[in-house]
Amino acid sequence: IRKIVSSFENIHLRFYNVEKIIKGWKPYLRGHVTILTYFRFIAPYILNDFDKAVYLDGDTIVLSDIGKLYETELGDNYLGAVKDAAAAGIYSDGRNTTVVNSFNNILKLTHPENYFQAGVLLVNLKKFREDFTLDELMKICEKGPWYFVDQDVLNYLCQNKVYFIDMSWNVESYASLEIPLKFAPDE
C-alpha cells in the first residue's frame, strides 16, 4: 500500500493503533459484524486536525475522482450519505416486522424512507466533535439491539442531519432484493 500511495502527491497514508481507545469497549455485535465496523466512530477523535473526511468500506471500488465527493458542502449536517433503497423497501413492504419495529421504536425514524447506507460517507468530523464526545458515541454503540448494527447507530444519531448525495456514490447489487425494491420509495 505504501508503494502505491507513494506515487501520488495528494495521497497520504497514516496508521493509527486504536488499541488503547477500544480497550474494554463492547459495542453491540450481530452476525458476521466485528468491532472493526465501529472504528468509523473513532475517526473524528483520531483525525482531530481535519474537519471533514470520506469514509469508504473496504469492499468499495471507486471509479471516479473521490475529491468530487469530498468537495460536497455539508453545511451543519453530520454526514453526506446515500439513501438505502433496499432497507426502505424492506420497511415499506412491512413483512419483516423486526425491521419495522427497529425503524419505528428503536431508531425512532420520523422519515424511514431517508434511512441511509453507511458504506460510503462524507463525514463532518468537526460537527461530530462539537456535538458528541467519544465516550458518548461508544456508549450508544454498546446499547443495541441494532438490526443493521453500526449503520443503525449512524441513522439514529444523524437523523435529519444528513445531506443526501447522489446514489451513484454508493451503488450496490440488488439482485437478491427484487421484492423489497419494488416497495422502495421512488427517490
pTM metric for this prediction: 0.89
Chain segment 7-56, per-residue pLDDT in tens: 988 888 889 999 999 999 999 999 999 999 999 999 999 999 999 999 99
Q: Which residues pair with 54 in a beta bridge?
A: 122
Chain segment 143-183, per-residue pLDDT in tens: 989 999 999 999 999 999 999 999 889 887 655 555 455 55
